[in-house]
Structure 1
């Protein structure tokens, strides 16, 4: 849903960003359904010169708009409320106050005010648009849908109304074809929000080439459009092969545009004083995923270990208030701040007052990021870690936490930021608490075929991956392929995957497709797979680590870059380097070797099922105590430099 807007001047509200998908899936509760387009991107403040005879309401309105343009909505609200007290009939003041209410997530107040104004001005196009936004925010989806349908019918040239209506079709009704139909009549318009929405829709339809083209058009129109920037950079990592030099240059170029826009609008906070020497390390963690989520799985024991080492932790949780937060995550933080409904300016002011040594951003360009907070530079040091997998290109991110395996010598050039390398791994998974025992026998010990599996998000299964899997299945005639992920709950996704496999020449009788189960049951599914086949250039993360815990190896293809080497880094850390291929031919050869000597393959897989969990438990990939000590040392050194 769009940001609230005003006919005189579009306001600038920065909210959690939308991406087409995430390295770490977002399945937790949301305050409202995720829209296609986030609120309007920030724009330079327009200078307004008041005539000497301007009335108090006009003066208040100009002042409030100036504050709103700087993200200072709480102050704008107070200015407008004072103006309302002296002139309650002023339509412009009431109109902009409703906009500010929406910006502050005071959705009931906005709804009440807009409902009265729409009754008074039933043909006011902009009021109708803002009213539909209020309905959406209150999760009155049917009413919002009907209001937008009527708005588009009456005002077919209203691009933002079409973008918002497409959002409902895409994210609430899960009908990307209908969303595209809504957008097509205005598809050629030079609107960054529109081109961003078209990029989201075409990505959902599986056309990443068209999606990237729309994102590029949006950035050409508005280089600092942060929603598009995040989606564009994220999407580039799905294309094989990834041009990492191009990714770096585009990240740098558009990240600089975002930074310059923030400086021009006066949003950057004054530098913090030097860090006091000798005090405990104060670390803030900014994330939309401090909850039951893959990011949470990689954080839980690490946070607890950091707390036990005396690190002061402050959470800035950008998730919905109803999201389930494991007690161990919540208990690790000395202070917990829910920020999902707070403006960027308010969050930045809070972080600055918390006097952090370093702020760890766990989102990068994935869903739920708060680039609008980070660009204000509220912390002394700002570091990207865990939830993103490469350069952000953002000048206000000082460093990226990496490791020697995922960023080997020579690949530092792919980053605009300084690299802080952990000694072994940048990731440490919490052992699953409810994981079943490892099945003692691999399926191929009793079945006449080998069961290959892939539990990755369907968007990672590109045409190059499918083509390589065809080669594997051809090389191992006595084999089947099991695909499983949450997207396969949707019949259209299953049908589309079957069509792609068929077009690649794969016999569908050898493929089994199923959806995900709750985690404790899903982990049991590894017992039915002999070997996982990893995707590329976007490999598995959580799935690869969970498979290790369940005694199942992953056949990975290492490609350049932090993301491309993620599987390699995990496997090397648990002694499974032999399962890493460095070419497509090598990938096929390693798969074929399982069939060439079945007796040896069964013995190897049986041994892994008996021993791998204990090996993993002691490895850097699962040993949170050692990992936390390494991380604290890394951050303390960085903050002192």
Structure 2
């Protein structure tokens, strides 16, 4: 349901080679001195005056104070100091250049652009200014100008590593050309630069080389243990490697999560604890997410939030999604307070959450893109719980609990988590029935075609070599069968060519494989009518695709593997009475697929019955019954808050 973070252009501070690292397309900039977080609020106090020696720069004390505030993430205060100083000394270059950096940190991109444009004209060979200017262009979505500015910067200053990272980000994320991004980064590939190694990890992952990607993430973390973007991508990516070593994942999550927490404590970022209080009649719950929108996470939230709103729960939204993202009215309307936080600093968001005086904050991002770990590490809420958007332990000491269920985390697997487990009685997920879903086709395709159509509508990165090897066994066991692969990445010709090469290397006859890209959701749902059975991936299985297939009357053949993520398909299928579609070994997976061809009339009858009855059955199940799910969730959260 989620994606790992990706690199985006970062800004340079006025000191050479020091950068502000951050996902600037999704979140506010992170402070350069310690990219793990912004600073906690300090008590309000009068601005102190400093006596100057004769002949000293009158702006120096104010500039030093602003730098200290900026280094702590207190950019709003730094801005006020600098604006007062500029009023007295408007020509000061050091003040103007640092104010431009503060503007970028506050996402005041037009102000930053205007100031930087003048400074670059005045200082055309200043590397940090040129880098910040290109970032301002990027932030204002002047992509061509940003691209050209970074190309020129890399040409003139080939040793400027951050410029290479920013240029590669544009090639990767905006131009969708990971090979070109790699070419930009390769001349600096051996540098001990955490941001560079992070970017190399993202690029090689996009190119399908997860082993190389993990090596780059490991190097980035060895250079800078508190680099939160790398930590998130590293932990996220470990779940793609088969078999997943969940004990190792827990160990690494805890180790690096502790490093983030220690740095936050060392810098004084953690807020003072809110005073304890008994839970009132109405439960005050915050939801922190980048995906309160038309997104798989949103699909699993819409009816649940609506049902919670009708109970004794007051909901507060802290929405970190991109500007212009479509937010369904049922999602927005469920919240009594809605706060867009994309352009707010971690410090400002943490202050807001603390002022809202929550009983509990639900984080729906974990280590996926758009997360605000810098907010969570400040511990702005009494209790902080991970749910929905992430699928395992976060390893973060400031996350108190994870919401699970007995199917995805059975007894004995609690050891894979650093957090306390809060078990829902049936399922941790509840899908909103698609509003524009077409009617279910009455018969499977194999009723009229001479072959069985297997399908997979998941992200291509989930289709690892072990999955392809198992699918080869399925196709061999069912000679009269074809495989249809479909996802959005196949819009890119490179991705299609790469998948064909991998299929060929796995020994799969390309004449039996159809590759296509996604369509808008209402049309995409209709394509389930063309599939007899979905083949799930592992160790990273489907989520939304499996649940949507159920709604469209199509079963998924899932391979259950250990862990919350590995058992995700199993949990969904068992909650709607399809436990017999869950395989517990690779041989079992092949045997269940082959059984479809062994007795075609029986298979057609079985699949036709599912198409006629599954939607109604599923609609009454815990996987789709939001009213019951919301009641279970409220009880669970109340018990946790009362502890």
TM-score range normalised by the length of the shorter chain: over 0.9
In structure 1, distance between residues paired with 2:303 and 2:566 = 26
Alignment CA distance shift 1:557-1:44 (3 Å): closer
Q: Secondary structure at the match of 2:242?
A: coil
State the partner residue of 1:340: 342
State the partner residue of 1:522: 524
Alignment CA distance shift 1:132-1:355 (3 Å): same
State the partner residue of 1:238: 240
State the partner residue of 2:540: 538
State the partner residue of 1:510: 512
Residue 87 of structure 1: how far off its partner (Å): 1.3
In structure 1, distance between residues paired with 2:370 and 2:26 = 13
State the partner residue of 2:375: 373
Please give the residue correspondences for 1:449-460 in structure 2 after superposition, counting only pairs within 5 Å: 449-460=451-462
Please give the residue correspondences for 1:26-41 in structure 2 after superposition, counting only pairs within 5 Å: 32=25, 40=32
Please give the residue correspondences for 1:133-532 in structure 2 after superposition, counting only pairs within 5 Å: 133-532=135-534
Residue 278 of structure 1: how far off its partner (Å): 2.9
Alignment CA distance shift 1:60-1:380 (3 Å): same
Q: Is the CA contact 1:114–1:127 (under 8 Å) kept in the aligned structure 2?
A: yes
Is 1:6 aligned with 2:8?
A: no
Q: Is the CA contact 1:15–1:344 (under 8 Å) kept in the aligned structure 2?
A: no
Q: Secondary structure at the match of 2:422?
A: strand
Q: Secondary structure at the match of 1:435?
A: coil
Alignment CA distance shift 1:43-1:452 (3 Å): closer
Q: Secondary structure at the match of 1:480?
A: strand
Alignment CA distance shift 1:379-1:344 (3 Å): same
TM-score normalised to structure 1 length: 0.95
In structure 2, distance between residues paired with 1:626 and 1:10 = 54
State the partner residue of 2:44: none
Q: Secondary structure at the match of 1:499?
A: helix
Q: Is the CA contact 1:12–1:69 (under 8 Å) kept in the aligned structure 2?
A: no
606, 611, 614: which one aligns with 2:613: 611
Deviations 1:221-268 (A, max 9, x none): 000000000000000000000000110000000000111111111111
Q: Secondary structure at the match of 1:81?
A: helix
Q: Is the CA contact 1:16–1:340 (under 8 Å) kept in the aligned structure 2?
A: no
In structure 2, distance between residues paired with 1:4 and 1:43 = 16
Deviations 1:211-230 (A, max 9, x none): 00000000000000000000
State the partner residue of 2:574: 572
Alignment CA distance shift 1:39-1:2 (3 Å): farther
Q: Secondary structure at the match of 1:536?
A: coil
In structure 2, distance between residues paired with 1:402 and 1:577 = 19
27, 35, 38: which one aligns with 1:42: 35
Alignment CA distance shift 1:578-1:610 (3 Å): same
In structure 2, distance between residues paired with 1:42 and 1:186 = 21
Residue 321 of structure 1: how far off its partner (Å): 2.6
In structure 2, distance between residues paired with 1:455 and 1:39 = 39
In structure 1, distance between residues paired with 2:37 and 2:332 = 38
Q: Any gaps of 5 or more consecutive residues in structure 1?
A: 18-31
State the partner residue of 1:623: 625
Residue 276 of structure 1: how far off its partner (Å): 3.9
Please give the residue correspondences for 1:16-31 in structure 2 after superposition, counting only pairs within 5 Å: 16=23
In structure 1, distance between residues paired with 2:138 and 2:470 = 44
In structure 1, distance between residues paired with 2:589 and 2:30 = 41
Residue 8 of structure 1: how far off its partner (Å): 3.0
Q: Is the CA contact 1:45–1:66 (under 8 Å) kept in the aligned structure 2?
A: no
TM-score normalised to structure 2 length: 0.94
In structure 2, distance between residues paired with 1:467 and 1:494 = 18
Q: Secondary structure at the match of 1:482?
A: strand
121, 131, 146: which one aligns with 2:123: 121
Q: Is the CA contact 1:16–1:369 (under 8 Å) kept in the aligned structure 2?
A: no
Residue 599 of structure 1: how far off its partner (Å): 1.3
Residue 38 of structure 1: how far off its partner (Å): 7.8
In structure 2, distance between residues paired with 1:481 and 1:214 = 34
In structure 1, distance between residues paired with 2:62 and 2:640 = 46
Q: Is the CA contact 2:573–2:581 (under 8 Å) kept in the aligned structure 1?
A: yes
What is the aligned residue count? 623
Q: Is the CA contact 2:27–2:320 (under 8 Å) kept in the aligned structure 1?
A: no
Q: Any gaps of 5 or more consecutive residues in structure 2?
A: 1-7, 40-49
State the superposition RMSD in angstroms. Answer: 1.8
In structure 1, distance between residues paired with 2:36 and 2:599 = 64
Please give the residue correspondences for 1:16-95 in structure 2 after superposition, counting only pairs within 5 Å: 16=23, 32=25, 40=32, 42=35, 53=53, 55-95=57-97
Deviations 1:361-387 (A, max 9, x none): 000000110001101110000000000
Q: Secondary structure at the match of 1:396?
A: coil
In structure 1, distance between residues paired with 2:26 and 2:168 = 13
528, 539, 557: which one aligns with 1:555: 557
